[in-house]
Structure 1
Amino acid sequence: MKYFLFFLTVVLYSGNTFSQGVNFTLTPKSDPIQNAIFEIIEVENLGRNLSEIGKVYTDANKMQSARMGNNLSEVFKSYMNQSIRSKNSVNQAILVKVEQFEIAESKASGNVASGELKLKLGFYVKSSFEPIHLLDYEGGMNYRRSINRLDLAQRVIQQAMDNALEYFDQWINSQALSNRALAGSVQILVENGDYISGRDTVFYSPERPLTWKDFTDRPRTGSTYNAVIFTSLAMEGKPFVKDGSIILPLTVKVYMLPGQSWVKNKNDYSLNHEQRHFDVVRVVADRLKKNLQNLDVNPENYEAMVNDAYFDAYREMNRLQELYDGQTNHGIKKDIQEKWNKMLDEALEGDYRRLERVLD
């Protein structure tokens, strides 16, 4: 997001003198921002010089370098943190990148200088990984002043920084409950999807066991198998932010594709073997749901942890399918088939003890 502040024209005249030179400073706001929900953890100056900010005329009518202390980053950080009063003990950790802070003057007349201040700041959430961009603030002021009144140039600098800090405070307060980058917690909601089976896809349902009508592909004449079923699982969900928390509703789909499943000789025993392939996927999906509900996540790691849980489940599904076909010899070993039938029935009821021994 980018914010543009229209340049203001300020006319500053006075007969008093000021002789402190061209080392400008920033003083904390006289009316500090109250109940701030952020803290400036770091200020990064992207300019080439640590302290120089431009050129100004002095009371000796000479152009000289303008500086901000010995280090612009330290001056900005001190100013910002002393200008706010935190609301909580735990606040958003903010990184500020000073992309531009430049003052330039020219002679308007014999004793009047015309100046322009340009300011561009980037605000980021400081995280354990890469900083998360929040906002670009771009603004500045045009002004005219008496040559001997450098303090009036300082007022322009002070006002520009006060404006930037006040704007960021207003922005972050307006975004705190709805901006994903500012979320303080994550809630994973594992939901049961309502999926309707059709000609192209059959979704797993205990009330709707497979039939041979679900195997619509043409049998492979060169294959030694009697039947083949294509089963898989998928996970979907779209996060949103509510009351400062990321809500991630997730559904896990278990399905088979009739158009990639086929049979040669239809009989009840073979159908049970294929149904058990489908049951394997349902068991893995149930275990994935349980794992998702128990994840200890935060806004920085939840996406990676949810994806890892899904891919772990996918690998477990493939391994179980291989073990199932390998141990039963694709259903030929009827005694082993019966053991798998019982083990999968137990797993479908939530008892994974025998299944986990097979996986070990």
Structure 2
Amino acid sequence: MEKLPPGKLRNELLREVIFPNLGVEDGKVIYGPKEGFDSAVLEYDEKHYLIVATDPTLGVPAETFGFFAYHFASSDVAVFGAKPRWLVVDFVLPPGTVREFLERTMNDLNGECRRFGSAIIGGHTGVYPSVREPVATTTAMGLVKREELKLPLAKPGDRIIVTDKVALEFAVSAAYFRADELKGFLTPGELSKLRSLYRLETVLPDALIAKPLVRGMHDATEGGLTALHEIADNSGLGFVVYPERLRLDPLVEKVLDFYGLEPWSVSSTGTLIAITPPEKSNQSIAELHKNGITAFELGKFTADKKRVLVENGEEKVFPTFKGDPYVELYSKGLISP
């Protein structure tokens, strides 16, 4: 029997197993499950669409659990142009979970809800002997005006604008889960600083700022910038990326060097990919900078369907998603509540 690989399901499995088994057709569904689409778009009223996204939170440090229970799903709603308004949250917890973990999680989750104007409207909580670690499943919903809907689709010439959090998720996780390995390479202060950067692992504020100026958006989660392939596939395009334009946090770069990793396919949750018309590229970057978010133009989408890195005038094939080093960190780094 074929065993499924760890991490998110590969696109061929989605096409062969998931997508053919989606129940009845419903005319209210404008966009349902689709590769590269992290939210559903439903008809709401004559002026609005309802954006719905679901994400699990697991394999994260206990102190970050409430933050991510909010932001993983809410970020997916934001990149479609909507503010997360309603949340349904399930907590499935292992035996031995302490009350203090639940209290901190709910306090943090409540704090993010109040910061962005979201209401928790339901869910489920329970402790079960078959569960090995805390798992939160969050469904986030929000409304967007029909003319303001953003889809992860590009046109030839659109610029690839990226915020400077590429590979941050991997580096922060390594600082938590592999601190012993990194102690001889990073100082205690550097490890502590990396851990504190988990609060940057969201595209929610980035997307709300960029929304008026971009054509579409995507959060570079598992697989990192290889998400560009999904955008290009759905758009019938290619793209060109210029590695010398890539900006990495110096600490993130040190961690990647330590593990001998390239930045292109490493988990980068919180990194916004903004698909931007060329005439609005500079303005979108300036607007993000004005709000304290560093962004840069990494490349562009092309009518030519090649997907390449251009370095020193030489073209190289842009990597595809074959696996994410984050999965290994997660599998060896389970943290008890």
Q: Using structure 1 for the length normalisation, give the TM-score.
A: 0.20
Between 1 and 2, higher relative CO (CA 8 Å, sep ≥ 6) is seen in 2
| Bigger Rg, structure 1 or 2 | 1
* Richer in strand (by share): 1
